Structure 1
Amino acid sequence: MSFSIAELFAQHSTDKFDLHEQFLNNQMVRVLKTIGYDRHYKRAVGQYLYDQHDNEYLDLLSGFGVFAIGRNHPTVISALHETLTLELPNLVQLDVSVLSGLLAQEILKTTPDNLTKMFFCNSGTEAVEAAIKFARYTTKREKIVFCEHAYHGLTMGSLSLNGEPIFREGFGPLLPGCSAVPFNDPAALEQALSGKDIAAFIVEPIQGKGVNLPDDNYLSEVEKLCKKYGTLFVADEVQTGLGRTGKFWAIEHWNVKPDMICMAKALSGGFVPVGGVAMTTKIMDSVYNRMDRAVVHGSTFSKNNMAMSAGLATLHVMQEENLVENSAKVGDDIIATLNAMTSKYEFLKEARGKGMMIAIEFHAPKSLTLKAAWAMLEAANKGLFCQMITIPLFKEHRILSQVAGHGMNVVKLLPPLNLTQKDRDHIIAAFDKTIYDTHQISGAIWDLGKNLASHALKGKTGK
């Protein structure tokens, strides 16, 4: 009897919600059904998703930044197919692989020249875990400093550096010796580092939760302070890296040289999970300092041929299609055009970001009627207004977007880097219409708002 994934998918494509309710996270199914995102997607190409009725959706989440080159890119598919059919030796373990060496070489061509070694793993959180361990061993210090509102992953070490309480609650005790400082505050950082007992300061060049940008001199001050106090400077570029911000690495905007860069997400091309840490030779040689320590840290599936092939193909596509340049051009245009709307919409505070990492923030209006409507939503659940943006964007304009974080009125866009001018125009028109509708208090969109508020209040009371 033959085995066919195509047949299985065709037979069960509309069973996914039932399967998840029975065997997986049923709360996620409840969320999707409550907000009307329970679609049955049957295929995906580039920046678009298609449901069973062949409706096209513009995906501005790209799998939380994974599909930077778009979904199902033919170059990566070809590379993976070729890798599968070559019958290559894979994960021999008592060996080293050609493909991982080549991928390391290609990545290090893009990093600051002080970073000369690569460590591969399977995800962003594994990259952060490795950075924690490598920093501790290299400096012989235990403490790690991170930023408030940071996001570095959900495994225990990474979670200990997570600045959002909702992710940490109930999972303690967490890794000892981890403390937070405000983002964008060099004075607070210096106070934390001044005891000369901090192994590493880990920071997102642009914070993912909220898309918070640093002041122009912040990261250069971080670099100076870390050098002054013997602390390793770790840039978490899991989300911001590989062209997301209009530069290959976000740190390029501020011309800094960290001691380590954590990466993942876009490096996989969206097919095979792959993460990594670029680091100085000093760090690598400190951790792997004797032959009996050659396997002191690793991961069974890291450097597997499929992951390395996906990474090599992804880097090739980014260069061939000029995706970093397109990210800067189209992304910055979207930000500027949305910002120009603030003069006509009271709810719209600003658009910000760099490249294809974009935040659209909303705030309390001045008009009494609008202010009362805003207050009603905020009383029910802080940050609820953004659902009045993202849900109509999805239902009426077939644009998939997300709220940037818990309790904040910020919509976040992480589009594929290959957005076209047509996509850009569709995004602008959809936001213009949706934000306009929120200013019509008697309109249908506020029926949605009242319904959302009712659900939020029921959730608080448990009724």
Structure 2
Amino acid sequence: MILGENKKTEGDINISLIRDAWIANEIDDKTKILLDKDARYFLHQSLSTPCLDVLKSCSGAYIENISGKKYLDFHGNNVHQIGYGNPILIENIIKQLQTLPFSPRRFTNEPAINFAEKLASLMPSNLNQILLTPNGSAAVGIALKLARAITGKFKVVSFWDSFHGASLDAISVGGESAFRDYMGPLTPGVERIPPPVTYRGIFEDNENKCLEYLEYVFSKENDIGAFIAETIRNTDVQIPSKHFWQEARKLCDKYEVLLILDEIPIALGRTAKMFAFEHYDIEPDILCIGKGLGGGVIPQAAIITRDKYNRFQDISLGHYTHEKSPLGAIAGLTTIAIIENDNLLQKVKKDEVYLKSAFEVLKLKHALIGDVRGIGLLWGIELVTNKFTKEKANTEAEKIMYECLKRGLSFKISAGNVLQLSPTLTITREELDLALTILDDSLTNIENI
């Protein structure tokens, strides 16, 4: 078993023997020196430090290391919707830097006002109230505090295996052990239930069991104020049906539970809609967005909620130093404008059709591929050692990741055996084809060993 095998949840492991081989055989001496220094001064943690390479630049769909090697980046921490270093975004940020780079507490600014107005204009019905924050974990924290204030109830329902951020309040509602181990008592009142995917077996796909579980908890715990969930699970690409989300929305209404949807990694066109909940004809009570909202340059996140919940001016729900950041606001406004002006939602839908066909061919060709799930430009390729029993091919998945890295394709592994592919929305068809070729060749190489 690979070291850290039991910790394979949100991403690939950075303490494995395969990682050691990568450093020994694929990294030059100058880079090794820098990696050693990086590991010396940055606190080690799963999914992060120690690192696998040192970057020099990024542009469009690519990242480039200090040796000049380019990787097509199908990871990007979900911030690269409009491509790295988008020139329009850079120009607008520079202009803002030269006039108002920061807005202190008690003052507002036109970029922040315009940004909030734009976000509200993208929402249905009365979802017009905004709070801005620099990161997604903080947005989740604000959403949880707001839900308590609105309902007067402190309990929250969430899914096992979910991810809502890395801060203490966010991991309290999250469901991944890699973030909760050693933490001791977490925020009380969290009721975790199995997610819909739990009920997908060889012969069934019964999301109704999850809905039954959800209603059971709602009915038995009369102090539940909120249900927080990822509309579509980003890390290993789990896509609930329209039926599931519409019924879950009805249950929240029936039991007066607020629905908090976490779309921090998947909003802004990743699913071929500006927001993933649009696929389901539902509305959240509170929406959390972030990551790509800053265009891959400025940290920016937000919560959006209903007008009727704007009644807590006597408390601070999200009093952050960079709350109304002019730079973050300009980055968000520009990112949304590029998505709209370049018709990226329509492009992503076409890319989805193209990739679906290409992955069907790969699935027939490669015995390791047990399942392919995707929407827009978010795809998960699940690797198995047996297509009938669906036993996870964890070791093979890690080997394939490093084979792809050698050939110039970067992505992350989720749940131990799912290759998660999440490229920039501006990626060209030629770049998609290159990535498919690298993946195909890497699968063939590992299967033939």
* Aligned mate of 1:123, from 111, 135, 139: 135
User: Is the aligned partner of 1:101 residue 2:103?
Assistant: no
Q: Distance in 2 between matches of 1:150 and 1:237?
A: 12
Pair 1:30–1:123, CA change in 2 (3 A): closer
Give the TM-score normalised by structure 1: 0.83
Q: Distance in 2 between matches of 1:14 and 1:115?
A: 50
Structure 1 unmatched runs, 5+: 1-11, 444-463
What is the CA-CA distance between 1:339 and the residue it aligns to? 2.1
> 1:170-189, aligned counterparts within 5 Å?
170-184=182-196, 185-189=210-214
**Does the aligned pair in 1 maintain the 2:370–2:387 contact within 8 Å?**
no
Deviation track 1:75-126 (CA, whole Å, cap 9, x = no partner) reads 111111101112x383232222221111011112222223111111111110
* Aligned mate of 1:391, from 391, 402, 427: 402
- Which residue of 1 is the match for residue 201 of structure 2? none
User: Is the aligned partner of 1:239 residue 2:251?
Assistant: no
Pair 1:29–1:322, CA change in 2 (3 A): closer
- Which residue of 2 is the match for residue 193 of structure 1? 218
- Counterpart AA for 1:133: K
Bigger drift between 301-310 and 129-138 goes to 301-310
Pair 1:284–1:25, CA change in 2 (3 A): same
User: Is the aligned partner of 1:76 residue 2:102?
Assistant: no
**Does the aligned pair in 1 maintain the 2:133–2:322 contact within 8 Å?**
yes
- Counterpart AA for 1:186: L
* Aligned mate of 1:414, from 422, 437, 444: 422
**Does the aligned pair in 2 maintain the 1:273–1:307 contact within 8 Å?**
yes
**Does the aligned pair in 2 maintain the 1:274–1:302 contact within 8 Å?**
no
* Aligned mate of 2:411, from 396, 401, 412: 401
Greater length-normalized contact order (CA 8 Å, ≥ 6 residues apart): 2
Q: Secondary structure at the match of 2:40?
A: helix
Give the TM-score normalised by structure 2: 0.85
User: Is the aligned partner of 1:340 residue 2:361?
Assistant: yes
- Counterpart AA for 1:52: I
Q: Secondary structure at the match of 1:50?
A: strand
Q: Distance in 2 between matches of 1:319 and 1:59?
A: 23
Q: Distance in 2 between matches of 1:95 and 1:416?
A: 35
Q: Secondary structure at the match of 1:116?
A: strand
What is the CA-CA distance between 1:263 and the residue it aligns to? 0.5
**Does the aligned pair in 2 maintain the 1:21–1:29 contact within 8 Å?**
no
Pair 1:366–1:41, CA change in 2 (3 A): closer
What is the CA-CA distance between 1:228 and the residue it aligns to? 0.5
Structure 2 unmatched runs, 5+: 1-29, 197-209
User: Is the aligned partner of 1:261 residue 2:279?
Assistant: no
User: Is the aligned partner of 1:41 residue 2:55?
Assistant: yes
- Which residue of 1 is the match for residue 331 of structure 2? 310
- Which residue of 2 is the match for residue 56 of structure 1? 70
Q: Distance in 2 between matches of 1:434 and 1:343?
A: 16
- Which residue of 2 is the match for residue 19 of structure 1? 37
**Does the aligned pair in 1 maintain the 2:142–2:317 contact within 8 Å?**
no
Q: CA RMSD in A?
A: 2.3
> 1:281-292, aligned counterparts within 5 Å?
281-285=307-311, 287-288=312-313, 292=314
Bigger drift between 193-202 and 337-346 goes to 337-346
Q: Distance in 2 between matches of 1:347 and 1:29?
A: 24
Higher-Rg structure is 1
**Does the aligned pair in 2 maintain the 1:114–1:259 contact within 8 Å?**
no
- Which residue of 1 is the match for residue 203 of structure 2? none
* Aligned mate of 1:279, from 294, 305, 324: 305
User: Is the aligned partner of 1:67 residue 2:80?
Assistant: yes
Q: Secondary structure at the match of 1:224?
A: helix
Q: 4+ residue runs of structure 1 moved beyond 4 angstroms?
A: 12-15, 26-33
* Aligned mate of 1:111, from 123, 127, 130: 123
- Counterpart AA for 1:302: E
What is the CA-CA distance between 1:160 and the residue it aligns to? 0.4
- Counterpart AA for 1:176: P
What is the CA-CA distance between 1:387 and the residue it aligns to? 0.7
Pair 1:437–1:318, CA change in 2 (3 A): same
What is the CA-CA distance between 1:32 and the residue it aligns to? 5.7
- Sequence identity (%): 27
Pair 1:359–1:231, CA change in 2 (3 A): same
User: Is the aligned partner of 1:139 residue 2:160?
Assistant: no
